[in-house]
Chain A
């Protein structure tokens, strides 16, 4: 493998050098013998000058014609006959182009290549009681700064830097290769894994103030399955559905998978099928599977001398984890009333299987069901039901639900109130009211689907 890689590297280098050197040789200046007939050069220059003069005269005549046509039109608009004559066929087509020539100039040549930049703030207040959470009542949960731009004809780059109470991190930062053959799309960098729907959403895009219980218990919560890696997806053309296959590989440094050995990676596979049922209704189905190493063993309450030593020791145990999920989304949005009506129904079911340090495995299952309905241009109402076991104890099941009301003053700000109830396995409950203010400044980002 190593020899093959070296040969490939040297081969590529040789190809690049050959490509770079070849043209240089081809373009090397050649020594020209003195011209035996200097008058021929003078004659050539004269001919070129005459051609330029003729071209100039032609352009000047064309512009004169154009100006005359515009003056005639202005005269008519100012009180002449209201019926305009058809365009003068003697005026060449090209002359209509300079009308807006100044509009083709970029607004600022020094700024034009800067990436699109936006900043999104997510402010959350929480009231009520939760026996297992002592989160702040007022919190700027997250500030997300996004930089997005086309890199070159073959790729674009997207960076999302998230800052919150726990610090600053690159939430996502990746290059997308958009010009690959065979309907391939490759992303390289740090990515949110394509596991279901909820995991792919940034916090401010989540329907509701918080994520479902299954996301928190089995999929790493707000940070989620997000790691450095590669994502390769392929469109499978067929007459029935939009079908996308995705394969991903990650380093294994997320809140779900942890690798203590660079040869042990986190792999993911996903199949997504989408179909328009009508022009207003569509269905989106997916199945995801991911597996990899983990150093978590559920024993976080145990005292230990060193976290690193503990993690290393657990890594030596070679614990593995697998997650399987299916998701379904049904959307309704009438095109004529798209500004005022919309219904989204979504569900995700997740199964987890985790090795235990003492041997054997534990399994857990969780799901959520979510509905959101837009009943006016700026108003949405939604609800969610939750149920999820905990990854190290499939019998420890938390249940709950939430209802929320969202108001959009404009496309760039959003107010949301939510009531949330959680019934913990320990026979204790949380009853909380949450209020969220989302706002964005900067470039108008595209809406996700």
Chain B
């Protein structure tokens, strides 16, 4: 008992000394670059476009990963701990994993509402904001609207602009540099939009099916019509009854193309495609979803080239 009490007296002081000592030992010098952590690779690409060599960027979710379901690994906590700026998609896309990372990161600079926190959804065009009473009977619905808004280049431009403004706020001396890089990105994006519009023009009004509600902004921007979804409701795996109904509807409307994100099983979509004589197209909606998709503009280059080829095959146009 005496031994235990001695230990009880010594331990708090020992722990405190250990913690303080570790703080001193592990203190790291500040870097000249702004350290940016983003929740997705799309945001990381925009941060690199605007930030250039003035930023050091790390993306948490990979492009071939479902951004709704990311493990809140301690290694991500470390990255956020070191960040000067945290950029998030918002609209509750990261709700299932980001809050504990932020609150445990021990970094006041990037807490929600702090100067180093940027939610790019606040200045863009958001679709599918539910109206009326929202319940879980509607599936894993996002009450603040569809968070896949980066798939409209116009939104990408606004997101890049928000990144420019935030980086300028954090590093005012580099404001002109960020503005120059943003202007260059804006110019290249506008040029690319011209290309993409030409490629997609023959397919305006074509009906397609997607697995998840990942594409409303893209489809609206390029004039495609989403007839239905493989998921009966957001986040709910396909059921036999829904699949049969979807096959019937695709047959009656002549819909031949099913778009599937790389992280969903293709078994049900391929079964549906066999039934309707259609085609399954695996399409990553994010930068990094394919090895060749290394930045935001290449993401649309890839999506549009793949989509146009598939639409040509199913429509003959």
How far is A448 from B106 in the complex, measured between Cα atoms in Å?
A: 17
A84 and B197 contact, CB distance less than 8 A: yes
How far is A377 from B197 in the complex, measured between Cα atoms in Å?
A: 37
How far is A269 from B97 in the complex, measured between Cα atoms in Å?
A: 27
User: Which residues of A come within 8 Å of B, CB atoms?
Assistant: 77, 82-84, 86-87, 93, 96-97, 99-100, 103-104, 107, 150, 153-154, 156, 176, 178-180, 182-185, 232, 234-238, 242, 244-245, 247, 249, 264-265, 267, 269, 272, 274-276, 279, 282, 284, 291-292, 318-320, 322, 331, 333, 335-340, 355, 377-378, 410-412, 441, 444, 446-449
A86 and B140 contact, CB distance less than 8 A: no
Give the contacting residue for B78; candidates A237, A245, A441; CB below 8 A. A237
B19 and A184 contact, CB distance less than 8 A: yes
B176 at interface, CB cutoff 8 A: no
How far is A154 from B113 in the complex, measured between Cα atoms in Å?
A: 11
B100 and A103 contact, CB distance less than 8 A: no
B312 at interface, CB cutoff 8 A: no
B1 and A447 contact, CB distance less than 8 A: no
Q: Which of B32-40, B186-194, B240-248, B273-281 contacts A (4 or more CB under 8 A)?
A: B186-194
Neighbouring B residues of A244 by C-beta, 8 Å: 74
A269 and B15 contact, CB distance less than 8 A: yes
A446 and B96 contact, CB distance less than 8 A: yes
Q: Which of B44-95 contact A (CB under 8 A)?
A: 62, 64-66, 69, 71-75, 77-78, 81-82, 92, 95
A234 and B22 contact, CB distance less than 8 A: yes
Neighbouring A residues of B71 by C-beta, 8 Å: 331, 333, 338, 447, 449
How far is A284 from B74 in the complex, measured between Cα atoms in Å?
A: 9
- 10 CB < 8 A contacts A-B: A87-B186, A153-B114, A178-B106, A237-B81, A245-B22, A247-B16, A267-B11, A274-B73, A410-B140, A441-B136
B198 at interface, CB cutoff 8 A: yes
B108 and A247 contact, CB distance less than 8 A: no
A340 and B125 contact, CB distance less than 8 A: no
B62 and A449 contact, CB distance less than 8 A: no
Nearest 10 pairs between A and B by C-beta?
A179-B108, A86-B190, A247-B15, A82-B201, A182-B23, A242-B74, A237-B26, A274-B74, A335-B65, A449-B72
Task: Please judge, given known A-B contacts A86-B193, A232-B19, A236-B22, whether A446 and B126 are in contact too, CB under 8 Å.
Answer: no
Task: Please judge, given known A-B contacts A100-B125, A338-B69, A339-B263, whether A245 and B19 are in contact too, CB under 8 Å.
Answer: yes
Q: Which of B176-226 contact A (CB under 8 A)?
A: 186-187, 190-191, 193-194, 197-198, 201, 204, 223
User: Which residues of B come within 8 Å of A, CB atoms?
Assistant: 1, 4-5, 7-8, 11-12, 15-16, 18-20, 22-23, 26, 28, 62, 64-66, 69, 71-75, 77-78, 81-82, 92, 95-100, 102-106, 108, 111-114, 122-126, 129, 136, 139-140, 143, 145, 157-158, 161, 186-187, 190-191, 193-194, 197-198, 201, 204, 223, 235-237, 262-265
B73 and A449 contact, CB distance less than 8 A: yes
B22 to chain A: closest residue by CB: A236
B194 and A180 contact, CB distance less than 8 A: no
Assuming A84-B197, A237-B81, A274-B74, what are 6 further A-B pairs, CB within 8 angstroms?
Answer: A77-B223, A84-B194, A291-B8, A320-B4, A331-B71, A448-B72
How far is A441 from B237 in the complex, measured between Cα atoms in Å?
A: 20
B75 and A156 contact, CB distance less than 8 A: no
A265 to chain B: closest residue by CB: B8
Neighbouring A residues of B20 by C-beta, 8 Å: 182
B1 and A318 contact, CB distance less than 8 A: yes
Neighbouring A residues of B126 by C-beta, 8 Å: 100, 103
B23 and A83 contact, CB distance less than 8 A: no
B97 and A446 contact, CB distance less than 8 A: yes
How far is A231 from B259 in the complex, measured between Cα atoms in Å?
A: 48
Q: Nearest Cβ in chain A — how far from B311, in angstroms? A: 15
A320 and B22 contact, CB distance less than 8 A: no
Q: Nearest Cβ in chain A — how far from B171, in angstroms? A: 19
